[in-house]
Structure 1
Amino acid sequence: METETAVPERPAALRDAFGAGDGGRSALGWEAVRAFEARYGVVLPEPYRSFVAEVADGSEQGPPDHGLLPLAALPSDWGDDRPPRDLAQPFPLTEAWLWEEDDRPEEELDALLGPVFDHGTVVLGTDGCGMYWHLVVTGAHRGHIWTITDVGALPFGAEFGHTTGASGFAGWVAHWAAGKEWFDAR
């Protein structure tokens, strides 16, 4: 998974996956992307970076089920009582975690959960029912996609055992465009 170098063919492949003129929002352009990065102290991983600069800033069609959010937007069900998100702080996870099955005291879990939801990711969208897709922009899993729900968090990518899809934004989009179930590993 290449997250540092723009590959010229990727924006076209991503554009094809979403379908030109089918609910896509105008691309931000490079000046706006660089301004976002400067404001939040991050550099977006490729190919997502090129996608929002050159193809579209979100899309009304998926992925995920309720569409791809514009950069820095949050789903309508995110809630107003959350602390400010800090994209420059590293995303804390490197492996799946089902906190619903974690026996630690609730206060300890709550302290650990804040960074999972609010550090080092851009929220890509929701499949509803509190199931959010995140792109890690800071930390050991930079460039990986994670699904974070009310019960746990899982990385997306064949190497993690839950799906046959390739890791990263391009793999996630290709998996969706092929009409595959998210968790299709058997």
Structure 2
Amino acid sequence: MNTDQADPDELAALRAAFDVDDGGQSALGWEKVRAFEAEHGIVLPEPYRTFVAEMTDGSYSGPPESGLLSLAELPDDWGDDGQDRDLSRPFPLTESWLWEDDPRPSEEIDPILDQVFDHGSIVLGTDGCAMNWHLIVTGPHRGHIWLITDVGAGPFGAEFGFTTAEPGFAGWVRHWAANKPWYDIA
């Protein structure tokens, strides 16, 4: 998984999976991508960066179930307007965490939860019921996809033991395109 350079094969797979053939009209464009990155103090991981700049910025077709959100969008059920989100601060997790079963007191858990939801990730979309897919943009898991729910969070990809798919945005999309219904548990 190369998060710094777009792989032509991955870009071709993304084009095919989303059937993007509108001459780039639904894409954000490089100027707006760079402006978003400058505003948030990040560089988006590849191939997602090229995907939103050249192919499409959001899609009604999945993944996830409700479609891919545009770069700056949050799900309708997000709650507040996302003012506390800081994409430049590292995403705090490197392994799955089921906070619903965590025995620590809420005074210890709540600050970490705030970071899980608001630091270092963009929301790709939702599968409903507070199940949101995030692309990690800063921190050790940069470029990985995480499913963050109301009870816990876990990384997507075979190396993490929760699916048979490759990690990263391209692996996530390829898995969806080949396996509808698409989310498997290994």
User: Structure 1 length normalisation: TM-score?
Assistant: 0.94
Query: Which residue number in structure 1 is paired with residue 167 of structure 2?
Result: 167
Q: Which runs of 5+ in 1 are unaligned?
A: none
Please give the residue correspondences for 1:43-82 in structure 2 after superposition, counting only pairs within 5 Å. 43-80=43-80
Following TM superposition, the consecutive aligned residue runs of length 4 or more in structure 1 with deviations greater than 6 angstroms are none
How far residue 82 of structure 1 moved from its aligned partner, in angstroms, is: 5.5
How far residue 176 of structure 1 moved from its aligned partner, in angstroms, is: 0.4
Q: Secondary structure at the match of 2:140?
A: coil
Q: Which runs of 5+ in 2 are unaligned?
A: none
In the alignment, structure 1 residue 182 sits paired with structure 2 residue 186: no
Query: Which residue number in structure 2 is paired with residue 85 of structure 1?
Result: 85
User: 1:45-103 CA distances to partner (integer Å, 9 max, x unpaired)?
Assistant: 00000000110001011100000000010000001275521000000000000001100
Specify whether residues 75 and 139 from structure 1 end up closer, same or farther in structure 2 by C-alpha distance, changes over 3 A only: same
Figure out how many residues of one structure are paired with residues of the other and give that number: 184
- Alpha-carbon distance in 2 for matches of 1:149, 1:25: 33
User: Structure 2 length normalisation: TM-score?
Assistant: 0.94
How well do the aligned residues superpose, as a CA RMSD in angstroms?
1.7
Identical counterparts, % of pairs: 68
Specify whether residues 13 and 146 from structure 1 end up closer, same or farther in structure 2 by C-alpha distance, changes over 3 A only: same
Query: Which residue number in structure 1 is paired with residue 9 of structure 2?
Result: 9
- Alpha-carbon distance in 2 for matches of 1:147, 1:25: 29
Greater shift, 5-14 or 64-73, is seen at: 5-14
> Which amino acid counterpart does residue 42 of structure 2 have in structure 1?
V
In the alignment, structure 1 residue 143 sits paired with structure 2 residue 143: yes
